[in-house]
């Protein structure tokens, strides 16, 4: 199982790199988000399949949002003129699209609002894991070097 996880994680990292995510920290964050969005709903399957489905939908919606945000910001780093307008347009477009998808899920498919919100909150969990990982890595290097 561990070998399968490592192999899949390595393949995901290569896939992200091929799509223009050349910064390792961004790829690490996206991989953390992918694993949270994929593994956490498995724990909900024993409780209720519809909750797991709604959680998975919210988590993947958040992950897709961040994927496009990260891809755009990496491209805009090298643009001098019009970067702010492009970022704002992208933000409001993604916000509108996310709102429409969430409204459709809640109104027409009767998705659980709580499960969707917990799925969307996987971004916060990813940020905490990612930040903690870099904080502890930085501190452990500092103690190893004696600095």
Digit-coded pLDDT (tens) for 84-133? 888 889 899 999 999 999 999 999 999 999 999 999 999 999 999 999 98
The rounded percent of the chain whose pLDDT value lies above 90 is: 49
pLDDT of residue 144: 52
Per-residue pLDDT band at 147 (split at 50, 70, 90): very low
Average pLDDT of span 10-17: 93
If you search the block for the tokens 């990813």, which residue do you land on?
A: 126
Average pLDDT of span 38-55: 83
Take residue 81 and report the two structure tokens written for it.
Answer: 């003129």
Pairwise CA distance, residues 130 & 16, whole Å: 17
Q: Give the lowest-confidence range in 5-14, 34-43, 101-110, 121-130.
A: 34-43
Is the Cα dihedral 54, 98, 27, 16 positive or negative? positive
Domains of the chain, residue spans: 31-145
pLDDT of residue 140: 63
pTM of the model: 0.80
Pairwise CA distance, residues 73 & 92, whole Å: 15
Pairwise CA distance, residues 23 & 6, whole Å: 20
pLDDT of residue 133: 87
* Run of H or E including 50: helix 49-76
- For residue 29, is pLDDT > 60? yes
């Amino acid at each position: 199982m561990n070998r399968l996880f490592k192999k899949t994680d390595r393949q995901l990292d290569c896939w992200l790199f091929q799509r223009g995510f050349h910064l390792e920290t961004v790829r690490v964050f996206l991989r953390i988000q992918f694993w949270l969005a994929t593994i956490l709903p498995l724990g909900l399957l024993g409780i209720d399949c519809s909750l797991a489905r709604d959680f998975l939908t919210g988590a993947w919606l958040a992950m897709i949002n961040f994927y496009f945000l990260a891809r755009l910001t990496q491209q805009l780093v090298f643009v001098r003129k019009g970067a702010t307008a492009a970022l704002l347009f992208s933000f409001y477009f993604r916000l509108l699209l996310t709102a429409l998808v969430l409204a459709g899920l809640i109104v027409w498919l009767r998705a659980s609002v709580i499960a969707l919100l917990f799925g969307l909150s996987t971004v916060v969990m990813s940020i905490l894991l990612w930040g903690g990982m870099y904080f502890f890595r930085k501190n452990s290097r500092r103690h190893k070097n004696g600095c």
